[in-house]
Structure 1
Amino acid sequence: MSLSAFIQRSIDAIAGARHLDQAISMSRFLGDLLWKNSVGQYELAQLESLLLQQYGGEFQPAGIPARRCEYLHVLTKAYDTGGHTRVVEHLLSSSALAEAGVFITETIQPNALRKLSRARYGCALSPKQAGSRQRIQHMIDVFAQHASIILHIHPYDIEAVLAAALAGKFFGVKVLLYNHADHVFSYGHGIADRVLEVSYFGWSLRTRRNIQYKSVFAGIPLKLPEQRIASESAGSSQAYLASAGTAYKYKPNDGFSFPQFVQKFAKVRNNRLVLIGPRLASNWWWWKTWLKLRSRVEFHARMPHDKYLDFLRQATAYVDSFPLTGGTAFPEIFSLGVPSFGVLTGSHGYSPADQLKSADVKALVRDLADFLAVQQRKGVETAAILAQIHDAHSIENVADRISYAYDLNKGEKQPPWQNPGTIDPCFYEKIWMSGNGAGMPVHTLPSFKLMWLFLVYWKQVRFGKKSDPRSPA
C-alpha cells in the first residue's frame, strides 16, 4: 500500500463514521499517528474540508458576540516547561500582542496556569466531560469574541481546527497557525489564513503543505540579554564543554553520531564534556563512548530552565545536539556569551546562530579544537550574528511580525537571514525509514481500523510485503 492509498483509505474510513464523535476520535488518532511517524505527510486539508462539509451544519452562530479583545492564543496542552507555553508566555509580554487572552482545549499544568493567567484577558479552559459537538460549539463561541486567534495546538487537535474554521466562517475571525513543530504533520494548514513559520526547515516544506501563498515568517521569541555577557568559565580550572537536549536528539542516525564525535574530539583535546538530558542507563548509544572516556563524559538530568541556563553559562563552549538540533537552546546559549558550535545536518534553519555551525563532524572537531587552543573564534563575525539573532528572535520583533502577518509584502515574508548549508526536507523521513518500529499515539484513543491500515502500509514500506488492503469488518 502506498502512502497516498493509506491516506485516502483513512479519510474514507473517517467519512463513513456513524456520527461526529466517532469521526473526531478517528481523526485525532490519525493526526497523532502521522505526528509520531514521519512518513512524508505534513497536512490533511482534504480531511479538514470533508469534516466541515459533513458536520458543519451541526453548528450555528449564537448571535453577534461582544468583542472581548484582539488576540486569543489557543493551546491544546500547556506544560510547566518548554514548548508552546514559553512561546505564548513571551508573546503575552510584548506590546504588539498585549491585548490577548489564552484558551486551553485540553489540559494545563499548575505552573503553566500561573504563568499564562498573567495574560491581560486571563486564561480559560475548555469544559471537560463534554462531547465533541459541545466542545466545538463552546470553542466557536469563545473564538468569536476575538479578532484573531493564534493556534499553538498539538498536531492532532482537529476539534480546535474545526472550531477555528467555523468561527472564521460565522464571524470573520482571522486564524493564524503558529507552526512550532514544523518538521512534523499537523492539522490546521488547510483552514488557516496565515501560517506563521519559525524556520528555513518549515519554509522548505511550504509546497508540500500547499501553503506557499499564506506562509509568513514569525520566528521563535526568546528572552535575550541586551548585551552579550562574557562567559563565566574563562580561566576556571573547573571549565567544561557542554551540550543539552532531549535524549533522543543524540541517537545516531543518517550518518551523524554525537557519541562518535565525542570520541574523535577526545583524541585531540582532553576537555571534560557535560551532557544535560541524555541518560546513560537507557541510552545504549552512549555506552561505548562512556566505557572509553569514563569521567571525561558526565550525564545530568534535565533541569528547570533558569538553572539550566546558569549551568550552561559557565561552560567553556557549547555544542548543539545532533542529528536532531537543540532548537532555540543554541541561540540562547550563544547570546549569553558562551562560544557555540554545531553541525549543519540539513535539519537546521531555526536561527541565524546556525552560521556558527560547521559543515560536517570533521570540521566541527577542528573548529572546536582550534578555538580551545587560543580562546578565539577565527572567521566568525560574532557581533553581526548576534545582531541577526536579536532581529529574528527578540520578543517584540516576533510579536510585530505576527501582528503584521496580513500586511507584509512577498519580499518580507521569508526568514530575514541568509541560511548556511542546504536544508534537507526529507531529513526526518529518512530517520523514520531507518528505524525499527512504528511510533504509536499516546495522546488519543486508538482506532483499530486506522491502526490496521497503517500497519499494512508500514509492512509494505519496511519489508515490501504485499498485504490484503481490505480493512476487517
Structure 2
Amino acid sequence: MSIIKENRIMFEKLATHVFAPLERDNDNKIILSSIIASTSAWQSFPGFYCHPEMEEILYQIARKIQYHTKDFKYYIPSSIEDSRRILHVFSTTYAVGGHTKVAERWMKNKLRNERHAIVITNQKELGNSYPVPAWLIQATEEAGGVCIEIEDSYSMVDRAAALRSIAYEWADLIVLHIHPNDPIPLIAFGVPGGPPVLFLNHADHVFWLGSGVADVVLDIRESGNLLTHSKRFARNATVLPLPLDEVKIKDKKYFRERLGIHKDQTVLLSIASSYKYEPIGEYNFIKSSIELLKRNPDIILLVVGPSAQHPLWQNAYNESEGKIIATGTQNDLVPFYSVADIYLESFPVGSATAALDACLYGIPVVKSPSPLSPLFSMSNYDGMKEHASNFEDYFLQIEEYINNSEYRVSCGITQKQDVEKNHVGASWNNKLEKVMSNVPKSHIVGFGNNLKESDNFVGDHDAVLSILNQHKQRLLQDAYIKHYFPQILF
C-alpha cells in the first residue's frame, strides 16, 4: 500500500467524528474532531490540499453562532481618522518563526492613518503556554492597536463567536495567519457579510483549512500560487511577496571578534529549523557540507537552528575538524548574518525568509541543488544562479564565491537590490495596494473551481510531501490526538 493511501485511510478514520459524530448536537466536539483530522492531513499528506466537505460541516456550525448575545469585553482603540483597520488573526504566535514575523513587518510598513490589531485564538497550544513575543506587542501598539488573547477557558464555539464579534465591531479587513488545522476562523467567518478575509498562505506546501472563507488567498511565491489555483478550490488567489525589514549593515569586524572568527576567514551560513536539514535520499545537506569542507579546509560553516547535540551534527563537527558548527535556535540572528560571506539555502526543505534576509545583508545566496520541489526552495532573484543540476556543480557555485571576493560582493549587491525592490518599504506597499484594489467590498463564503495544472511539479510535490519528515509528523499528530481526543470521548 502506498504511503499516500495509508495517510488517506488514517485521515478518513479520524474524520469519522466530524461527519458521523457520537453527539450530533455537540458542536464543540465536532470542532475538536476537525482539528485532529486536519492535523493528520497537514502532517501526513493524504493526496489532497483542501477538503470542502469538512469545511462545509464547520460552516454549518458557523451559521448557528449568535455572537451578539454575549459580552466578550474585548476592546481595540479606533478613531474617525483611521483610513483602514486591519485585524490580523493568529492561532498561536512564536518568538522564533517566520509567519509571526510577517505580521510585525506588515505593521511596520503600515500606511498613514492605518490601524492594526491582533487576535490570537489558541496561545496555550496543546496545553503549553507560549508568551506573545514582546516585539509583536510593541509593533501592534505602535500601529495603534492591541494584541488580544482569547481566553483559553472558552469553548471552541465561544472562541469563534468572540473572534466574529471583535472583527464585526472593529475591522475593515481581516488577515488570517493561522495554523493549517485551525477551524476557529472558519466558524467565525463562515457566513456571508462582514469584512473581507485575506488568507496568508505561509504553509503553501501542505494541506490547510480555510479556502472557503478566503476572499483572497495571498500566496507568497509563484509556485505556491500555482498549487493554490490547481488544488485548493480557491475563488481568488494572488501573489504578495513577504514583507521584509530594511537592513542596516552592522560592523563585521566587531561580530567576528565576538564570535571568535578570524577577520580573513571565509564564513558560510545557513539558517533553518532542524527538520529542514533531515536527509531524503541523496538530498543530504550535512553530508554535502562535510564534503565541501574537505575540499575547502580554510572555511567554516555556521548552521543556525539544529542542535549541536544531535548525533548527525556532532558527526559533522568531528568530520570537519570543528568547522561545521550547529548553534541551535538563536533569537538574535544579527551577529550571524553580520559575519557571513556566503549563504547556503537549507535542503531538502528551504527556509525562504532566512535566505531573503541574507540577501538584504548583501550576502550572496547559493540555492539548493536541483530541489525535490519548487515549493522546497526560494524563488530566483537577479544575481542568483539557477539551481545546480548536481552536487559537483553545486560545489563549484560555492567555490566561485569562496575564491573570488569581488564577484561575491558584486552578486550580493545585485541580489540585495532585487529583494529590496520586491519586499521592502514603499516597493512592498505598492504591491499590497495593488492587491487591495481587487479585494471584494464584503465577505462571501464558498469555493471556486480548480484550474488545470500548468506544470508537472504539483504531482511531483505530492510524492515528495508524502515521505517528508514522517517521524516528526507522527509525533505532532500524536500530540494533538493525546490532547484533544479525550475531550471528544468524554
SS at match of 1:40: coil
SS at match of 2:295: coil
1:301 aligns with 2:325: no
Task: Name which of structure 1's ranges 185-194 and 358-367 shifts more when overlaid on structure 2.
Answer: 358-367
Q: Determine the structure 2 residue equivalent to 1:275.
A: 303
Q: Determine the structure 2 residue equivalent to 1:462.
A: none
Q: Which amino acid aligns with 1:196?
A: L
Q: Which amino acid aligns with 1:340?
A: V
Distance 1:113 1:379, change over 3 A: closer
The C-alpha deviation readout for 1:381-406, integer Å capped at 9, x for no partner, is 65554333123211444444344425
Q: Determine the structure 1 residue equivalent to 2:156.
A: 132
Q: Determine the structure 1 residue equivalent to 2:146.
A: 122
Query: C-alpha separation between the residues in 2 aligned to 1:315 and 1:184?
Result: 32
Q: Which amino acid aligns with 2:20?
A: G
Query: C-alpha separation between the residues in 2 aligned to 1:200 and 1:296?
Result: 36
Query: C-alpha separation between the residues in 1 aligned to 2:164 and 2:316?
Result: 54
Q: Determine the structure 1 residue equivalent to 2:207.
A: 185
Cα distance, 1:379 vs structure 2: 13
The C-alpha deviation readout for 1:212-258, integer Å capped at 9, x for no partner, is 541111111111238x8897679923442222222221111143111
Distance 1:187 1:445, change over 3 A: farther
SS at match of 1:38: coil
Q: Determine the structure 2 residue equivalent to 1:236.
A: 263
Cα distance, 1:7 vs structure 2: 4.9
SS at match of 2:270: strand
Distance 1:71 1:433, change over 3 A: same
Cα distance, 1:178 vs structure 2: 0.5
The C-alpha deviation readout for 1:312-348, integer Å capped at 9, x for no partner, is 2212322121111122111211221223213141334
Cα distance, 1:434 vs structure 2: 6.3
**Gapped regions of structure 2 (runs ≥ 5):** 79-83, 124-130, 440-454
**2:181 aligns with one of 156, 160, 172:** 156
Q: Determine the structure 1 residue equivalent to 2:118.
A: 102
Q: Determine the structure 2 residue equivalent to 1:335.
A: 360
Q: Is the 8 A contact 2:45 2:206 kept in 1?
A: yes
**Gapped regions of structure 1 (runs ≥ 5):** 410-420, 452-471
Query: C-alpha separation between the residues in 1 aligned to 2:99 and 2:470?
Result: 30
**1:322 aligns with one of 347, 350, 367:** 347
Distance 1:315 1:385, change over 3 A: closer
Query: C-alpha separation between the residues in 1 aligned to 2:174 and 2:181?
Result: 18
SS at match of 2:49: coil
**1:433 aligns with one of 449, 454, 467:** 467
> Runs in 1 of length 4+ with deviation above 6 angstroms?
228-231
**1:199 aligns with one of 201, 221, 231:** 221
Q: Determine the structure 1 residue equivalent to 2:387.
A: 358
Query: C-alpha separation between the residues in 1 aligned to 2:408 and 2:265?
Result: 25
Cα distance, 1:37 vs structure 2: 2.0
The C-alpha deviation readout for 1:118-158, integer Å capped at 9, x for no partner, is 33122222133122222221111111121210001111210
TM-score normalised by length of structure 2? 0.77
Distance 1:242 1:381, change over 3 A: closer
Q: Is the 8 A contact 2:362 2:415 kept in 1?
A: no
1:92 aligns with 2:114: no
Q: Which amino acid aligns with 2:213?
A: I
Query: C-alpha separation between the residues in 2 aligned to 1:184 and 1:396?
Result: 31
RMSD in angstroms over aligned alpha carbons?
A: 3.6
Query: C-alpha separation between the residues in 2 aligned to 1:121 and 1:447?
Result: 32
The C-alpha deviation readout for 1:150-194, integer Å capped at 9, x for no partner, is 00111121012210223xx2x432011011111122111122100
Q: Is the 8 A contact 2:122 2:150 kept in 1?
A: yes
1:389 aligns with 2:419: yes
Q: Determine the structure 1 residue equivalent to 2:293.
A: 266
**1:81 aligns with one of 96, 103, 111:** 96
Q: Which amino acid aligns with 1:151?
A: L
Q: Which amino acid aligns with 2:347?
A: F
Query: C-alpha separation between the residues in 2 aligned to 1:33 and 1:262?
Result: 33
The share of aligned pairs that are identical, in percent, is 19
Cα distance, 1:77 vs structure 2: 1.0
